[in-house]
Amino acid sequence: MAASVQELIESLEAHLARTQHELQQLRQENTRLKQTISEQQLSLESFQDVARVENAEVQPVDKQTTLDPAESVAAPGEEGMHSSVTEGQTQASPIDSTEQKSEEATAAPTPPSPHALLKQWYERYPNAFFTGHTKPLKVGIHHDLAEREPWSGKLIRRALANYVNLPRYVKSMREGAERVDLDGMPAGLVDKEASQHANERRKDSAGEKPSKRGAQEERNKAVHRPNQTQRKSVKQAEDSHEQASSSNNTSQKHEDKKPLSMEEKIKGLLQKFEGR
């Protein structure tokens, strides 16, 4: 029993010794880690100090270069020249703004009237728009005009309508006639349908505007032959005259009847009783 207890005590002492030895090693390791951490902190602080010093040395140079780059490059005698150039640029800025305004005003011109635009086309496209002998235009030529002209499609169509409605243009729309583009190059032929449509338009315009000879004949007929309104006025005058004459006759009849005397009235009454 005593031997077993003695063995247990010895094993516990051995275990305690090992534990103390491990604890001592852990303490040493802890001390070593603390030293390593402190060294790293010192190195980091020293690095930050060095970085701050370097930034402090570089920053004045950067400010000077940013604020006044001409001083580090220009010579002492060129300082006045640089200032004069800067003043010249400052004085020229109002002129630049004025030129910019004029350019903006030029970029947006006022659109002309359809008639004025057609006059411009006579000069700009003399091989397509004619003042005398006229040729039919290409089908869809308003698309070509829209590509070349800076105006809206509505204005282009209105100006084009002023041209194609001219009598000489309508007359030129004969079947088989050659169409031309803006450069005067052949661009197809006038088909039968387009020619018939032009003939109808020409007849309509001729019906709306009678010739001078026809107008003169109508005026002569109106002078020598009374119109319906004149006939009505004459008939009304005759009717009024007849009514006036009949009223006069009636008044004369009333005037012819004289008033009866008292004796004549008594005789008339006696005759009535005797007749009964």
Distance CA 178, CA 138 (A): 9
pTM over cut 0.75: no
pLDDT, the chain, mean = 75
Q: How far apart are CA 7 and CA 171, in angstroms?
A: 141
For 208-244, the pLDDT digits (tens) are: 555 555 556 656 655 445 455 556 655 666 666 566 6
Out of 2-6, 15-19, 49-53, 68-72, the most confident range is 15-19
- 20 C-beta neighbours (distance < 10 Å), count: 10
Q: How confident is the model at residue 92 (pLDDT cuts 50, 70, 90)?
A: very low
Query: Does the pLDDT of residue 182 top 50, yes or no?
Result: yes
pLDDT score, position 70: 46
**pLDDT score of 143:** 93
Amino acid at 173: M
> Picking from 69-78, 121-130, 246-255, 260-269, which range would have the lowest pLDDT averaged per residue?
69-78
With cut-offs at 50, 70 and 90, classify the pLDDT of residue 41: confident
Q: Is the pLDDT of residue 267 over 90?
A: no
CB 194 within 8 A of CB 170: no
Those residues whose C-beta lies under 8 Å from the C-beta of residue 171, and which sit 6 or more positions away, are 134, 198, 202
Residue 137 has pLDDT above 80, yes or no: yes
